[in-house]
Amino acid sequence: MTNVAALDCGSNSTRLLIADASGRTLARDMTITRLSAGVDATGALTEEAIGRTLDTLVRYREQMDAFGVAHGLLVATSAVRDASNGADFLTRAAATVGVPARVLAGQEEAQFSYQGATAGLPAAADPTMIVDIGGGSTELAVLLDGELIGHSMQLGCVRVTERALLPAVVTPERAAAAEAMIQSELDRAFAEQPRFAEVVGHVRLVGLAGTVATLAQLTTGRATYDRDAVHHQAMTRAQVLRWRDELGRRTPDERLALPGMVPGREDVLTAGLYILDAVLERFACDHFMTSEDDILDGVVQSLIAGVA
């Protein structure tokens, strides 16, 4: 098998992973494209957001060509899943990158994320749950008795920002609106997946995606991204609360000045931390682990195995 590529058109970022036939990473790339901008309010992807994303995919196709990639898969998640013109976007995206493109259902998204995030983890006494905080949705998944119990919440850092927090200093009223929105979705998650209750208080929680990675960078104070510094790091709920409240007191421009803040996340990171804290509280976790292995790694594993 030749080199393979996985592409993820998420709500906030568009990402690329190229690997060889053994699964060894050859290239990773991430660009903030905010594909979901306005989808929650209008129900459709804007031409501006589509343009930003397609421009990024053109650049990714060039990287794929440099590595001789002929086999791959582009996956799209919440923003495209929710958009009335999502199918049209997928057609254009597939033509741009030259590989198949499809929208993942929430359960599929959880499956790929769980597969990617847990492949390199050591064994643990407690079940492992992943929380993958995206721009428009948040996936929860845990393996119990050989069955993956997954749920996709209609919560993400962009969606909660647009509906409740706004890209501004957080007021008590906005915080209360965000918390109510998040708790309602967590209630629905437990109602639809009652087995989640079995792991409350004894679960190894692994956090994925940009919210968690940026939190880890802020905590280390690193001005530039260092995968080794943010991958498989132990973090605490106290750190989540500290940064949630610290960022909430600042404007987005003031947040951007902090060492470790990723441009393009300064307006939505606070919402992501509200989601992360609520999940930690609901599952009675006072600590968690970060992972830079995620949905892309899961897609690559499936491509190599010939099942994607």
Give me the pLDDT at residue 18, please: 97
Claim to verify: residue 173 and residue 90 sit in the same structural domain: no
Claim to verify: residue 99 and residue 172 sit in the same structural domain: no
Claim to verify: residue 97 and residue 125 sit in the same structural domain: no
Instruction: Give pLDDT tens digits for 220-264.
Output: 888 888 888 888 999 999 999 999 999 999 999 999 999 999 888
Is 47 domain-assigned?
A: yes
Is 307 domain-assigned?
A: no
Is 263 domain-assigned?
A: yes
Claim to verify: residue 257 and residue 151 sit in the same structural domain: yes
Claim to verify: residue 141 and residue 263 sit in the same structural domain: yes
Cα distance between residue 144 and residue 153, in whole Å = 19
Q: What residues make up the domain containing 225?
A: 121-291
Query: HSE of 67 in the Cβ direction (CA atoms, 13 Å)?
Result: 22
Claim to verify: residue 86 and residue 133 sit in the same structural domain: no
Give me the pLDDT at residue 110, please: 86
The number of domains in the chain is 2
**Residue 79 token pair:** 């923003």
Give me the pLDDT at residue 307, please: 54
Is 305 domain-assigned?
A: no
Claim to verify: residue 90 and residue 125 sit in the same structural domain: no
Is 114 domain-assigned?
A: no
Q: Which residues of the chain have pLDDT under 50?
A: none
Is 168 domain-assigned?
A: yes
**Does this model's pTM top 0.75?**
yes
Contact between 21 and 304 (Cβ < 8 Å): yes
- Choose among 149, 146, 106, 124: nearest CA to 205: 124
Is 306 domain-assigned?
A: no
Which amino acid belongs to residue 87?
Answer: A
